[in-house]
Amino acid sequence: MTDDDRLQQLLRSALAPAADRTRSRDLWPLIANRIQVRARWSWLDVGLAAVVTIVLLMFPSWLLLLAYHL
C-alpha cells in the first residue's frame, strides 16, 4: 500500500460521510438583498470624521502625517 492510499484510507475513516447532501435553503437571495442595502453612516463614523476635521483645522501641518499613514 502506498502512502497516498494509506492517507486516503485514514481520511475516509476519520471523516464520516455526509448523510444529507442537499442544501437546506438557497443563499443567493440573502446575498442579493444584502448587496442592495445601502451602507449607512453610524454615529461613530460621523464622530471620528468630525474629530479628524477639527484636529486638522487646528494643526494643518499634521495633514502630511495623516497622508503619509494612509
- From first to last of its 70 residues, what are the pLDDT tens digits of the chain? 678 889 988 988 888 777 766 767 788 888 888 888 888 889 999 999 999 999 999 999 999 988 888 8
- The pTM score is 0.46
Q: Are 57 and 67 in contact (CB under 8 A)?
A: no
Please tell me the distance from the alpha carbon of residue 25 to that of residue 48, in angstroms, as a whole number. 40
Neighbours of 43 (CB within 10 A): 7
pLDDT in the model for residue 1: 63
pLDDT score, position 34:
85
Domain ranges of the chain: 42-70
Task: Please give the angle made by the CA atoms of 37, 29 and 18, to the nearest 5 degrees.
Answer: 135
**What gap in Å lies between CA 32 and CA 21, rounded to an integer?**
24
